[in-house]
Structure 1
Amino acid sequence: MVGFRAIGATLLLCLTSAAGTGDAGAMEARGPFMQVGVSAPRPIGHQDFCRRLPDECRPGEKKGLPQPLALDPALMHRIAAINTLVNSQIKAESDEDRYGVEEYWTYPTTAGDCEDYALLKRRRLHEELKIDYADLLLTVVKKTNGEGHAVLTLHTADGDFILDNLNWRILPWSRTPYAYLKRQSVDDPGKWNRITNGRDILVGAVAR
């Protein structure tokens, strides 16, 4: 198995030099994996999304205890390419401006909010690279300014990595500046769990 540090560095190098990417001590303090706890309420936007598209919120192909995704360099480069492409093709626009409501989760075509980026990356990584939805988890975080934000967690055998519309680099979750609140269950995409080791905001850990 490739080590967590090596995987993290390789993912960063898919797009840019890993130099200056953050505090290694902070990464070690959080560890490579998010620790999930008790069930959490689904975000309101996700509840509505599942009502409109129920097939998107049912358990996937994996049976029994899901095993995290195994990474290799070729797959990592393809993941990075899709992440960059979605970030460049979709214009950031709030749900209020686009749909006239506070929260509306959907697949964007030309513009969307943070969760829309995450949804599109999730679908493209599943359809184009055959990554199981159990390894592509919508995740709710809090930014350093207190605002809510949504990202996509890539759950792998070597750690959890973050695909973010605010950062074109794919980073280990522990090297992002967010407080992690909750994410989709690996067993059932219609359910969510709290993240028990994600409350500390790593101020200044990475450039935003």
Structure 2
Amino acid sequence: MFNLRNRKGLAVAAILLGLTVSARAADERPLYASLGDTARAPIGWVEFCTENAAECKAGPSQPRDIVMTQAAWRDLIKVNRWVNETIKPMTDMDHWGVVEKWSIPTDGYGDCEDYVLLKRKMLIDAGWPREALLITVVRDKMGEGHAVLTVKSDKGEFILDNQNENVVAWTETGYRFVKRQSQSDQNVWVSLGDPRPAALTASARDH
């Protein structure tokens, strides 16, 4: 078990982990899935923001991409692996007794969106711009709803995923992208051109 009382210490701990990582980042900059109309927020997001107002600062902001240096790349891999190895998968029904609940996994358990929320929080606490860290709903390789974190950079868009210890370009995930937060307003969600019906919930089974 762990908690996030010392949030800055948690972020620093993840950054300093002595993991062997690859500093490879894609040279090309593939275009992201086309942005569509405003989409409905995933089930659980509004309730999460009501309970965690500081994590969901309202209002428009200036879109920002991060500069993907080798140090930034290593940090992304460290945070992704640390959270994936530290948090144990548990469905919301088993965890909370409800079908869907978004939460920062302070007790060490969570499903896919909870992994995303912790990774996002750690990076923001470490000084990364929230405008470059976008919660994203996809359909995984089984066609089920799943949540990942999109990191927008000058080298392209990369995905932090609890189903993959590596950070990869969005085009390498094998997922179909449904919707994500707007880069100019985190409380606005936009569709990503997936022709199939958008998933209303991000979680499925033990994601």
The TM-score bracket by the shorter chain reads 0.7 to 0.9
Deviation at 1:63, TM superposition (A): 4.9
Q: Name the structure 2 match of 1:74.
A: 71
Greater shift after overlay, 185-194 or 30-39? 30-39
- Structure 1 residues 85 and 15: alpha-carbon distance in aligned structure 2, compared to 1, 3 A threshold: same
Give 2:185's aligned residue. 188
Contact 1:39 1:192 in 2 (8 A): yes
Aligned to 1:52: 51
Aligned with residue 21 of structure 2, among 8, 15, 28? 15
Name the residue aligned to 1:179. 176
Letter of the structure 1 residue corresponding to residue 21 of structure 2:
L
Identity %: 39
Where structure 2 has 5 or more consecutive residues not aligned to the other structure, the ranges are 1-19, 197-207
Partner of 1:4: none
For the residue of structure 1 that corresponds to 2:37, the secondary structure is strand
Distance apart, 1:164 and its partner CA: 0.2
Report the TM-score, using the length of structure 1 for normalisation. Answer: 0.76
Aligned counterpart, 1:118: 116
TM-score by length of 2: 0.77
User: Given the alignment of the two structures, is residue 43 of structure 1 paired with residue 49 of structure 2, yes or no?
Assistant: no
The question of 1:108 aligning with 2:108 is answered: no
Normalized per residue, the structure richer in helix is 1
- Shift in Å, 1:144: 2.4
| Equivalent-residue separation in structure 2 for 1:32 and 1:85 (angstroms) | 29
Tell me the equivalent position of 1:152. 149
Gaps of 5+ in 1: 1-13, 19-23, 201-208
Which residue of structure 1 lines up, in the alignment, with residue 30 of structure 2? Answer: 31
1:37 partner SS: coil
Considering only aligned residues, what root-mean-square deviation do their CA atoms show, in Å?
2.4
Task: Give the superposition deviation at 1:58.
Answer: 2.0
d(CA) in 2 for partners of 1:134, 1:84: 22
Deviation at 1:54, TM superposition (A): 2.2
Classify 1:53/1:17 alpha carbon distance in 2 versus 1 (closer, same or farther; 3 Å): closer
Pick one of 124, 130, 134 that aligns with 2:131: 134
* Aligned mates of 2:111, 2:61 — CA distance in 1: 32
- Alpha-carbon separation, structure 1, partners of 2:61 and 2:41: 23
Q: Counterpart in 1 of 2:83?
A: 86
SS in structure 2 of the partner of residue 191 of structure 1: strand
Preserved CA contact (<8 Å) 2:104 2:117? yes
CA deviation digits over 1:69-98, x for unaligned, max 9? 111001111121111100100001110110
Query: Does the Cα contact within 8 Å between 2:64 and 2:129 map onto a contact in 1?
Result: no
**One-letter identity of the residue aligned with 2:155:** D
Task: Write the letter of the residue equivalent to 2:32.
Answer: F
Q: Which residue of 2 aligns with 1:206?
A: none
How many correspondences in the alignment?
Answer: 174
Contact 1:57 1:188 in 2 (8 A): no
